[in-house]
């Protein structure tokens, strides 16, 4: 849980940096590719090449392709069809996918975890609902692919690490995660990237470096390690805690207009969902007691 909270703070600042200094100014495919490359370089010296089952390597690469590669490609494409409020609104379905995909892995149904995810989704919806435009179906479908891929990557990584219980620290194999993301990010930039929209200032290069090394490299590693330590309901809820956290940072630093009453109400509903899961989910209670 500590890792998830730590990364929530880290990513909350990332949202504002991207929105203020990169969005619309730097090619999105290049931004994604640079983040993947820098994160790969962080873990490259620590990667264990021998003694790791090939199946484990491929599975971790697959989670990277999903959680980083496909997610970001679809996310950035959706901006061509949706307004920013619509994009933010449609990402709140991720907790539902986390819960349902985790249940599918175990061939079970967890009503409490699903309830917590639904309540968290309601909380994020209260914060981010600003109405819909008429032409949004294509963008909506792209966002749902991104949400499903991000959820599947998180849940998948948990199950990969359980299936291959090596006596190795997680960072010795996490490089394969970014190698998998590179399989998606590099062709996307080569096909869709715009070389005329590369970073033009040292500030933009610095932000990309920070996003690649800290937000992507350290952040995704800690997030996935944290995901391995909590139940699916808590993981689902934490996906939506990012929404009020990102809004709060943006409000305090850049003084963006925000509905404070809606933010407070939505944040309270998300907090309630976390309490519901911790109180009534049997696996969550066991972890809290340990």
CA–CA separation, 181 and 185 (whole Å): 6
Angle ∠(283,147,58) on CA atoms, nearest 5: 80
Instruction: State residue 188's pLDDT score.
Output: 95
Instruction: State residue 289's pLDDT score.
Output: 37
CA–CA separation, 46 and 171 (whole Å): 7
Instruction: State residue 267's pLDDT score.
Output: 80
Instruction: State residue 63's pLDDT score.
Output: 97
Instruction: State residue 43's pLDDT score.
Output: 96
Quote the pTM value.
0.85
Instruction: State residue 290's pLDDT score.
Output: 33
Instruction: State residue 177's pLDDT score.
Output: 97
> What backbone phi and psi angles, to 5 degrees, belong to 258?
-150, 150
Instruction: State residue 288's pLDDT score.
Output: 39
Tell me the two tokens of residue 184: 């998606």
- Other Cβ atoms within 10 Å of 142 Cβ, number: 22
Instruction: State residue 84's pLDDT score.
Output: 62
Concatenating the DSSP letter of every residue in 177-211 gives HHHHHHHHHHHHHHHH--GGGS--SHHHHHHHHHI
How many structural domains comprise the chain?
Answer: 1
Instruction: State residue 104's pLDDT score.
Output: 84
Instruction: State residue 13's pLDDT score.
Output: 85
42 Cβ partners below 8 Å, 6+ apart?
213, 217, 218
Tell me the two tokens of residue 79: 């901006």
CA–CA separation, 181 and 190 (whole Å): 14
For the chain, the residue count is: 290
Residues lower than pLDDT 50 in the chain: 286-290
- Residue position matching structure tokens 């203020």: 20
Measure Cα distances from 155 to 14, 52, 86, 215, 273 in Å. 23, 21, 25, 20, 19
- Residue-number span of the structural domain to which 125 is assigned: 2-289
Report pLDDT digits (tens) over 229-252. Answer: 888 888 888 887 877 777 777 777
CA–CA separation, 184 and 260 (whole Å): 39
């Amino acid at each position: 849980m500590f890792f998830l909270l730590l990364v929530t703070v880290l990513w909350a600042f990332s949202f504002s940096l991207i929105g203020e200094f990169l969005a619309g100014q730097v090619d999105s495919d290049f931004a994604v590719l640079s983040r993947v490359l820098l994160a790969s370089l962080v873990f490259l010296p620590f990667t264990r090449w021998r003694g790791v089952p090939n199946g484990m390597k491929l599975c971790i690469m697959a989670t990277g392709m999903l959680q980083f590669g496909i997610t970001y490609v679809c996310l950035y494409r959706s901006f061509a069809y949706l307004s920013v409020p619509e994009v933010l609104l449609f990402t709140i379905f991720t907790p539902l996918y986390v819960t349902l995909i985790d249940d599918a892995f175990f061939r079970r149904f967890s009503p409490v975890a699903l309830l917590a995810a639904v309540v968290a989704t309601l909380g994020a919806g209260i914060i981010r609902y600003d109405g819909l435009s008429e032409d949004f179906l294509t963008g909506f479908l792209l966002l749902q692919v991104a949400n499903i891929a991000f959820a599947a990557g998180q849940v998948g990584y948990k199950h990969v690490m359980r299936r291959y219980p090596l006596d190795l620290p997680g960072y010795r194999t996490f490089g394969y995660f970014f190698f998998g993301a590179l399989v998606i990010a590099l062709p996307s930039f080569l096909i869709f990237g715009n070389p005329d929209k590369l970073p033009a200032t040292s500030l933009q290069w610095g932000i990309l470096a920070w996003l690649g090394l800290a937000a992507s490299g350290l952040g995704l590693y800690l997030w996935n390690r944290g995901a391995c330590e909590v139940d699916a309901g808590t993981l689902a809820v934490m996906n939506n805690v990012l929404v009020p956290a990102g809004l709060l940072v943006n409000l305090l630093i850049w003084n963006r207009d925000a509905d404070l009453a809606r933010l407070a109400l939505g944040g309270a509903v998300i907090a309630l969902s976390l309490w519901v899961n911790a109180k009534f989910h049997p696996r969550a209670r066991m972890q809290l007691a340990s």
